[in-house]
């Protein structure tokens, strides 16, 4: 556990870490930037409840009033949810800037990995990973999620990479960085809100005990990278992959027309996707966030 003065632990998380109890770090980006209030706060409440039900302690990772919060109370969750749209979305590079200015920030999966690794929390739960953007061979636009997972000793539980990305190039990049990618009870890479992507994964594991053993062996061999556990969305909540890809193609064309660049592209494409897919996309996002948190809790228990 890191005693850095810029990191504040909730009482529940502090007790768990001191007593070597399982803790799950949860990114705030997918819930608090992706869902409107009060659905974001309600979903966060469900996530925390499900993590506790499955034997672990929830630790939402955020920046509030110039401090990194590892674990949030119900009142903090509600206040944080109301601030949607007013907080900067932070990866690792923005953390010191937000702290220096005493601001609030929504932590991406990359930022959550940075904090979890320093806090000694090995399991991080998220929605979908960032990855290599379409056209990255020209723009060099690659999410910092991929860089952080290559150097942080954590297991990220997610529903694949966000479907607006170039999924084939994302998998190639992870292979280059020697990051183990595991499908949980699946041979195919999930495409965030869709179950199928058409991309075969290099490894399938069917139990959290087997995954925990692989992580322990990795550490014993001093292999530096983290690991990714890809967990498909429940089939009943998944969106139609064909329709989703059609909408994404439309969104890419519109983003070029509107000259959207850099880190704004993902937000633009995801907003377009949700607007076109309607309520189904919101329900899908909520389901995969909750489902990943449940699996992360089970895995954190298996690691002990």
| pLDDT, tens digit, 9 for 90 and up, residues 52-96 | 999 999 999 999 999 999 999 999 999 999 999 999 999 999 999
CA dihedral over 149, 155, 160, 162, signed as positive or negative: negative
Is 275 catalytic? The answer is no
**Using an 8 Å Cβ cutoff, are 250 and 263 in contact?**
no
Query: Could you give the CA distance from residue 269 to residue 166 in angstroms, rounded to a whole number?
Result: 13
Give the residue among 92, 67, 80, 91 at the shortest CA–CA distance from 9: 67
**Using an 8 Å Cβ cutoff, are 255 and 265 in contact?**
yes
Residue 83 DSSP SS3: coil
Query: Could you give the CA distance from residue 292 to residue 47 in angstroms, rounded to a whole number?
Result: 9
- pLDDT reported for residue 246: 86
Query: Could you give the CA distance from residue 243 to residue 113 in angstroms, rounded to a whole number?
Result: 32
- pLDDT reported for residue 262: 67
**Using an 8 Å Cβ cutoff, are 173 and 131 in contact?**
yes
How many of the other CB atoms lie within 10 Å of CB of 206?
11
Instruction: Tell me the pLDDT tens digit for each residue of 22-57.
Output: 999 999 998 998 888 999 999 999 999 999 999 999
Annotated catalytic residue, options 12, 94, 162, 286: 162
Annotated catalytic residue, options 27, 50, 94, 148: 27
- pLDDT reported for residue 17: 97
**Using an 8 Å Cβ cutoff, are 119 and 2 in contact?**
yes
104 Cβ neighbours under 8 A, 6+ residues apart: 62, 63, 64, 65, 80, 83, 86, 87, 88, 98
Between the CA of residue 17 and those of 3, 178, 267, what are the distances in Å?
12, 29, 34
Q: Would you list the domain boundaries of the chain?
A: 7-302
Question: Does the N-terminal peptide bond of residue 38 adopt cis geometry, omega within 30 degrees of 0?
Answer: yes
Residue 208 DSSP SS3: helix
Length of the chain: 304
- pLDDT reported for residue 263: 63
| The token pair that represents 200 in the structure block | 């075969």
Residue 27 DSSP SS3: strand
**pLDDT tens, the chain, 304 aa long:** 778 899 999 999 999 999 999 999 999 998 998 888 999 999 999 999 999 999 999 999 999 999 999 999 999 999 999 999 999 999 999 999 999 999 999 999 999 999 999 999 999 999 999 999 877 777 788 899 999 999 999 999 999 997 788 999 999 999 999 999 999 999 999 999 999 899 999 999 999 999 999 999 999 999 989 999 999 999 999 988 888 888 888 888 898 888 887 667 777 877 887 788 777 788 999 999 999 999 999 999 999 9
Is 162 catalytic? The answer is yes
CA dihedral over 18, 15, 215, 212, signed as positive or negative: positive
Query: Could you give the CA distance from residue 269 to residue 267 in angstroms, rounded to a whole number?
Result: 6
| The token pair that represents 170 in the structure block | 């994302």
Query: Could you give the CA distance from residue 31 to residue 62 in angstroms, rounded to a whole number?
Result: 11
**Using an 8 Å Cβ cutoff, are 239 and 276 in contact?**
no
167 Cβ neighbours under 8 A, 6+ residues apart: 131, 160, 161, 189, 191, 197, 199
Reply yes or no on domain 7-302 having CATH 3.40.1790.10: yes
């Amino acid at each position: 556990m890191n005693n850095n003065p810029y990191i504040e632990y909730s009482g529940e998380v502090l007790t768990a870490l001191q007593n070597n109890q399982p803790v799950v770090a949860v990114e705030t980006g997918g819930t608090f930037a992706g869902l409107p209030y009060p659905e974001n706060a309600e979903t966060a409440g469900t996530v925390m409840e499900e993590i506790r039900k499955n034997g672990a302690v929830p630790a939402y990772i955020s920046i509030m009033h110039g401090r990194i919060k590892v674990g949030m109370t119900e009142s903090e969750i509600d206040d944080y949810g109301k601030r949607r749209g007013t907080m900067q979305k932070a990866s690792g590079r923005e953390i010191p800037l937000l702290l220096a200015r005493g601001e609030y920030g929504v932590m991406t999966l990359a930022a959550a990995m940075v904090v979890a690794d320093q806090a000694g929390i090995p399991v991080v739960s998220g929605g979908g990973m960032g990855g290599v953007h379409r056209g990255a061979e020209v723009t060099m636009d690659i999410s910092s999620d991929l860089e952080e997972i290559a150097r942080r000793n954590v297991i990220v539980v997610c529903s694949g990479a966000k479907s607006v990305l170039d999924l084939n190039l994302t998998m190639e990049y992870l292979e280059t960085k020697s990051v183990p990618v595991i499908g949980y009870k699946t041979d195919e890479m999930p495409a965030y809100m869709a179950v199928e992507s058409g991309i075969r994964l290099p490894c399938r594991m069917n139990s959290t005990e087997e995954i925990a053993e692989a992580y322990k062996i990795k550490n014993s061999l001093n292999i530096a990278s983290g690991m990714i556990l890809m967990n498909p969305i429940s089939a009943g909540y998944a969106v139609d992959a064909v329709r989703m890809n059609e909408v994404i193609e439309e969104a890419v064309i519109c983003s070029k027309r509107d000259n959207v660049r850099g880190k704004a592209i993902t937000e633009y494409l995801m907003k377009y996707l949700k607007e076109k897919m309607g309520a189904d996309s919101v329900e899908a996002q909520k389901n995969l966030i909750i489902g990943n948190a449940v699996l992360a809790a089970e895995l954190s228990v298996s690691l002990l």
